[in-house]
Chain A
Amino acid sequence: MDAPLDRLLARFEERVRVLPALAGQTAVEVAPADLVEVVAFLRDEAGFDVLLDLVGVDRLGHPEAPTPRFEVLYHLKSLAGGARVRVHVPVPDDTLELPSCWRLWHAANWLEREVWDLFGIRFAGHPNLCRILCHHRFEGHALRRDYPIGRRQRLDAPEAFLLTDDPEWA
């Protein structure tokens, strides 16, 4: 087990659970309430300075462990050392909400919008949580397992205005 992970476990103890992972990769699970604290620690004290990706997963009908239904995976990478860690966060079924990480990484802005767009998971505190890939009149969330692949939604006119009053987070 590598040093950053040891430090993480020493710091958060049982609030971080190491998951079994394939191909020698490192994966941990944390509760939504601890998410921001854990990733901030990983970024500032363990050197995982890049947020590479956010992956929403819908487990509806999954042969093992279909609950909680949604999970979001945070891929972090340390630019200098090349180490990677994956943080799994189960999404509470009742609120479908996670805290936003946009204050930590600029990259989180679009990535969180994408997870919202395709899975309908909200990110509390996100400054501009609107659709990003599907069009603005789209109803439902396309990558949920129960969204039929062939349900097309026609659009009549593109969104006229994109600028927002916050120049930082357009």
Chain B
Amino acid sequence: MSTRVPPIPAERFVLNIGPSHPVTHGTLRIQIEAEGETIVRSACEIGYLHRGFEKEAERVYWEQVTPYAERLNYCSSLHNSVAWCHAVETLLGVRAPPRAQALRVLASEIARIMDHLVCLAANILDVGALSCWWYLYNVRERLYDLVEDLCGHRLMVTWGRVGGVATDLPEGWGERLLVVLREAGEAVGEVREMLSSNRIFLDRVEGVCVISPKDAIAHGFTGPCLRACGLPRDLRKDEPYWGYERYAFDVPVRSHGDTLDRMWIRFDEIEASTQIVRQVIESLPSGPVILDDPGITLPAREEVQSTMEGLIRHFKRIMHGIHPPRGVVYSATEAPNGELGFTLVSDGGPRPWRVKVRSPSFAHFSAFPRMINGSMIADAVAALGSLNVVAGELDR
């Protein structure tokens, strides 16, 4: 076991960053030993946002975990919402109806775009370009409007349902989305153009805080951070769910594994997601958006209010919850940050026996000391932004 408080040579100093510091975008804490501006040794502390998600999940019903799950990665709660429901469905051995699956793809890709927008906006702000923040955040606000029309809330949507989704698309929503996405594409393209010819920006991020593919694998990298190292792995392609195999899209890959590539790849992914969204809107299957299964879903509202059977079914379902089979399942989806996995342990009762979240941020942040040792303090700031560590899913 190593000891705390190692000897610090006289010409070196210890710098503490966080947990309340603007560059940490939340609650991360980094301590570095530096010689001049160069980081010699570093350590990270997490847990400042440990909200007891897993303990909390053990005392509520399966479907009641949905809002908690959304608050794991709050930059893309739409995705988390449907990913959790997908996990419970995997345990139950059922699948959402085709239209619900297509809507989930839609939601998940919108969430990906929104997540990447925040990540990029904040990251570019970290290296000193405030104006890009306004550009990108305006796009996000436009998308918020659509999300609000769809789910009734801007951020925390509680839109996923075990067995489907809560609401169908409002009238004319798809067309509005396409308009917004076209304008978003323009704004994002503008930012990208602005950056790609900007010497100051490029010098700050190019070749900085590189992680090798070998280390990335050993740390369990997934998602854009892994793809920035040249490994084109994406669950949407490798283990398609929700009918992702029906859509034509590219998995962007970059090869250097540096801060710049981790940023560029997010720009690329915004484009790829836009592609997918267009196809979903064009090929949306018809049919119900939620299963009709007395053991899993609630009856339609009209049925509850007009028939005795409907009322009883509603009552029983609310009071008794869902009873999945006993056992363990692992269900993974490609979240904006990487592989978001849920391990569900069921004892056959209405409450989870144990829920464990496999969050991409946890793996990414664990590699952070290795990435920044030897580089400059200011570079570490940019690198942290490019990992997009979201404290909610990091600490759970």
A and B: direct contact (Cβ < 8 Å)? yes
Q: In the complex, what residues of B have CB within 8 A of residue A97's CB?
A: none
- Considering the chains assembled together, what is the distance between the CA atoms of A82 and B238 in angstroms? 7
- Given contacts A107-B220, A167-B373, whether A53 and B343 have CB atoms under 8 Å apart is yes
Instruction: Scan residues 339-354 of chain B and give those whose CB is less than 8 A from a CB of chain A.
Output: 339, 341, 343, 345, 347-349, 353-354
A63 and B348 form a contact (CB under 8 A): yes
B327 and A22 form a contact (CB under 8 A): yes
Q: Does A164 contact B (CB under 8 A)?
A: yes
- Considering the chains assembled together, what is the distance between the CA atoms of A23 and B33 in angstroms? 48
Say which residue of B1, B347, B369 sits within 8 Å of A62 (CB atoms): B347
Complex interface: stretch among B39-47, B97-105, B120-128, B302-310: B39-47
**A-B contact number at CB 8 A:** 151
- Considering the chains assembled together, what is the distance between the CA atoms of A131 and B217 in angstroms? 24
B45 and A159 form a contact (CB under 8 A): yes
Residue of A whose beta carbon sits closest to that of B366: A110
A161 and B358 form a contact (CB under 8 A): no
B269 CB, min distance to chain A CBs, angstroms: 19
Main secondary structure on chain B at its contact with chain A? mixed
A75 and B50 form a contact (CB under 8 A): no
Q: How large is the interface on B (under 10, 10 to 19, 20 to 34, 35 or more residues)?
A: 35 or more
Complex interface: stretch among B2-10, B129-137, B160-168, B249-257: B2-10
Residue of B whose beta carbon sits closest to that of A169: B2
Interface residues of A (CB under 8 A from B): 20-23, 25, 27, 49-53, 55-58, 62-64, 73, 75, 79, 82, 84, 86, 105-107, 109-111, 118, 126-129, 131-135, 142-143, 147, 149, 158-159, 161-167, 169-170
Known: A57-B345, A58-B354. 11 other contacts (CB 8 A): A55-B354, A75-B341, A79-B233, A132-B46, A133-B46, A143-B55, A161-B4, A161-B31, A164-B3, A164-B43, A169-B2
Q: Can you report 10 A-B residue pairs in the complex whose CB atoms are below 8 A from each other? A: A22-B329, A52-B220, A52-B339, A57-B345, A86-B330, A105-B219, A107-B220, A134-B50, A142-B55, A165-B6
